[in-house]
Amino acid sequence: MSSSNNKSALKLFGIISVLALSFWAIFYVSTDTYQKKAKVRQERAETINKTEKSQKPNQVVLKKNERHDVGRTSLVYKGVEKNTIFVDLYLLDLDPKQSYLKKIKMSEAKKELDLGGVKYNLINANERFLTLKILRLSVTP
């Protein structure tokens, strides 16, 4: 007799627990805090998707602090400050672990610029992304 009471009490506890968790989840998802966080995540995802879709074969989109290989070089965009673009250049043939900080004035970048033998033109630079058009890749034997 007591085992059937224990089973029914356990079932009742389980049902109440499931209902309580369901109501809590619905309440949490409907709060302003959760919805603001979800909106920010969605906006970030859309920005990244736009960047990836807009990338063309003859251009490079560098995300801040992420390494990107172009030919025999690697570039890491460090940001822009006072009309100066900061890029770490890695020469893979020389030493792939050694970075060379390049400070590029915005006015110079709009003209042709040379980073490790690769010729670029500046398309856009902001806090998060640097977009460069590849004019010429150097050929290294």
| Residue 60 and residue 117 share a domain | yes
Which residues form the domain of 9? 2-52
pLDDT in tens, 47-59: 766 655 555 678 8
Per the structure, how many domains does the chain have?
2
| Residue 63 and residue 36 share a domain | no
92 lies in a domain? Answer: yes
- Boundary-marking domain end, from 36, 52, 68: 52
141 lies in a domain? Answer: no
Other beta carbons less than 10 A from residue 87's beta carbon: 24
pLDDT in tens, 65-76: 999 888 888 999
pLDDT in tens, 1-25: 567 778 888 888 999 999 998 888 8
| Residue 90 and residue 44 share a domain | no
| Residue 72 and residue 39 share a domain | no
- Boundary-marking domain end, from 10, 31, 52: 52
32 lies in a domain? Answer: yes
Is the per-residue pLDDT at 28 higher than 90? no
72 lies in a domain? Answer: yes
Q: How many residues does the chain have?
A: 141
Enumerate long-range contacts of 118-126, CB under 8 Å, 24 or more apart.
118/70, 118/71, 118/73, 120/60, 122/85, 123/59, 125/80, 125/85, 126/80
Q: CA 123, CA 111: separation in Å to the nearest integer?
A: 10
Q: What percent of the chain has pLDDT over 90?
A: 23
- Single out the residue of 132, 131, 125 nearest to residue 80, CA to CA: 125
| Residue 45 and residue 90 share a domain | no
Taking only Cα atoms into account, the Rg of the chain, rounded to an integer number of angstroms, comes to: 27
pLDDT the model gives residue 89:
93
- The reported pTM is 0.59
Q: Scanning the structure block, which residue is given the tokens 């979800």?
A: 38
30 lies in a domain? Answer: yes
